[in-house]
Amino acid sequence: MNRLVLLNKPFGVLSQFTGGKGGGARDTLAHLIDLPGVYPAGRLDKDSEGLLLLTDDGKLQARIAEPRHKMPKTYLAQVEGIPEESALARLRTGVMLNDGMTRPAKVEAIVAPRLWERDPPIRFRKNVPDSWISLTITEGRNRQVRRMTAAVGHPTLRLVRWQVGDWTVEGLGPGEWREIQVR
């Protein structure tokens, strides 16, 4: 049996075990999880939160992380403004970024989800409304969701990866993890 760890990566933590500020482990995975032999299957940038999968199986790691396998990844994004249907339609058909056209995404406007508090909190702006969307992509370019929402005029304020394939972060608080067995 292979190991698969579902971790709710907090905001401000790097998706790696070494290389934090000044060589310290406080802003890396090392201070959250002590399981020898598991490694992240993909990345989640320091400014993003939510589901990060770790495994000890190279084939499973590749199936999760490599874009050619098109494993769906669902994000909950708090965006600046309230996207009109035309902006959501652009995300659904693909957006031109500086590194090419994205694959079509599944997108819908959602009510604000009940999530854990973020530390530090999102900056509140009295004169600029915000809203939430759910966005599912099947590729994983660097900061892709943030770049996509910015391209349609709604920069991301908070980004939470909620699901990868069939695995979700549901029930895990920031920094919490659970291990499951996979074949």
The residues annotated as belonging to the active site are: 45
Are 6 and 177 spatial neighbours (Cβ–Cβ below 8 Å)? yes
The first and second tokens of residue 62, run together, are: 């590749």
List Cβ neighbours of 86 (8 Å cut-off, separation of 6 or more). none
User: Could you tell me the CA-to-CA distances from 10 to 15, 45, 85, 114, 133 in Å, in that order?
Assistant: 10, 10, 31, 16, 20
Residue the block writes with tokens 């292979």: 2
Strands (E), the chain: 2-9, 39-40, 49-55, 73-80, 96-97, 100-101, 106-110, 130-137, 156-164, 167-168, 177-182
Q: Which residue, among 62, 77, 80, has the nearest Cα to 144 in the 3D structure? A: 77
